[in-house]
Amino acid sequence: MKIAAVDFETANEHPASIISIGVSVMEDGMLERKVETLIRPKKSVYYFRRGNTMIHGLHAQDVKDAPEWPEVYGQLEPYFEECVWAAHNASFDMGCIRAACRMYDMPVPHLRYFDTVELSRRVYPQIPHHRLNDVCDYLHIDLDHHQAGSDAYACLMIVGCTMTLAGIYDIEELLKQCGIRMYEL
């Protein structure tokens, strides 16, 4: 089964203010980046909060010519049904998908997903904090933190490292053995 990891960066506190997305996919043990793009938010949420910009370094001029959510959604559609999705702090990323779809009056995709924060807490309890950068440091995963493509790829690498550690390469079996809940969007 394919696993897709997703990460979003937002312009402000509104979850539909997506300005960057990264999606990486694992199939048959092979990891690859699939989608990494800037996104121009809809006018009603197109403002940049200083705190967000300080985190990811993106500004309004960076996304002024970027596609909006409906175009990017079209690129993601093939992965909705065929993948189990993962995200680090998944409630944030799934909330972004839901909010952006609702803002554009689009259908919210049906996704099955899990949270790699829960996975890391269960499998690597010795790590004092389970922020993405801390887990990546512990597992020696390269990370350009708060760059959506890098964050998504790192999230998927956490899954890959955990599969190798457990010797379980079926994601549903791995989650079952680790006691990790599968959610639905």
CATH of the domain at 102: 3.30.420.10
pLDDT (tens digit per residue) in 114-155:
999 999 999 999 999 999 999 999 999 999 999 999 999 999
Return the DSSP state at 85.
E
Q: What's residue 33's pLDDT?
A: 66
- What's the rounded mean pLDDT across residues 161-182? 96
**Strand segments (E) across the chain:** 2-10, 18-27, 30-38, 83-87, 112-115, 183-184
- What's the rounded mean pLDDT across residues 60-83? 93
SS3 72: helix
Long-range contacts of 170-175 (CB under 8 A, 24+ apart): 170/1, 171/1, 171/3, 171/84, 172/1, 172/84, 175/114, 175/119
Tally of domains in the chain: 1
pLDDT (tens digit per residue) in 22-35:
999 999 888 776 88
Q: Which domain holds residue 162?
A: 2-184
Closest CA to 8 of 102, 89, 121, 120: 89
